[in-house]
Amino acid sequence: MMAPVNRFKAALAAGQPQIGLWVALASANVAELLGHCGYDWLLIDGEHAPNDVPLMQAQLQAMQSGGAHPVVRIPVGEVWMVKQVLDIGAQTVMVPMVETAEEAALMARAMCYPPEGIRGMGAALARVSRFGMDGDYVATANAQVCLLVQVESVRALENLDAICAVPGVDGVFIGPADLSADMGFPGQSGAPQVQAAIADAMARIVASGKAAGILVGGAEAGRAALAQGARFVAVGSDVGVLRQGAMALRAAVDGR
């Protein structure tokens, strides 16, 4: 059996907007529930959430019955981390804090088997090939992996055009929170200077032909990002949805 078609990658290539949600509660039950809520993609966060490889695998398994495509964010751009999340079944990987074209190129090589890349040939031991039962997986996997790199620093924006030009990078994701801090506005991603930098970055990513992505807070901001040219937009997180919903429900009881 061949590697499954990566419908998220195909949708990005076709210019179809993809609406997502961050998943940070490290719960297979939460991931399964959200997988049935109509989102195009869900981000399993390994950078800031308490996730390890077994927990990520459990969430990938839980999401199989739903309609959302899983994206796994690794903690840092290390080749061995890419290898591990691909082997547990991720097809789309997000790498945080990419600042140079060289870093992006290394991650692109990590995503693919030789001769195109440097991914280790261990699929026969892994969930991704149904533990060796899918004999054609290795021969077809390279075409179905999808690499998203995050630009979230002043240095990354300085190198943005070169990062966008790297073969094997499918999408470039702007990280407003870290970018605002690096620009001297921690916790103020809405500052005019930060928003101007984001708008400029978005335009440059779109002009390069790569898919542009961003994390925003809420539906209105999501629509605005799509209007700017973003192709994959996360509009919130499981933590935020739970917190806001719980607080609103409690307040509604007696107006507190």
- Residue 105 in any domain: the answer is yes
Asked if the structure places residue 191 within a domain, the reply is yes
Query: Is 206 within a domain?
Result: yes
Residue 192 — pLDDT band, cuts 50, 70, 90? very high
Burial of 69 (0-12, 13-18, 19+ CB in 10 A): buried
Does some domain include residue 210? Answer: yes
Q: What is the pLDDT of residues 201-232, one digit of tens each?
A: 999 999 999 999 999 999 999 999 999 999 99
> Quick check: is 48 catalytic?
yes
Q: Which of 211, 208, 209, 234 is nearest to 221 (CA)?
A: 234
With respect to residue 58, please indicate whether it lies within any of the assigned structural domains.
yes
Quick one: pLDDT at residue 108?
98
In a domain, 2, yes or no: no
Place of tokens 């992996």: 145
| Residue 45 three-state SS | strand
Q: Which of 1, 2, 36, 48 is catalytic?
A: 48
**Percent of the chain's residues with pLDDT above 70:** 100
Which pLDDT tens digit goes with each residue over 100-117?
999 999 999 999 999 999
Which of these, 245, 214, 240, lies nearest to 24 by C-alpha position?
240
The distance of Cα 229 from the centroid of its chain, to the nearest Å, equals 17
Mean pLDDT of the chain: 96
Residue 244 domain-assigned (yes or no): yes
Angle between helical axes of 79-87 and 53-62 (0-180°, round to 10)? 40
What CATH number corresponds to the domain at position 215? 3.20.20.60
Domain count, the chain: 1
Domain extent at residue 151 = 7-254
* Residue 1 maps to a domain: no
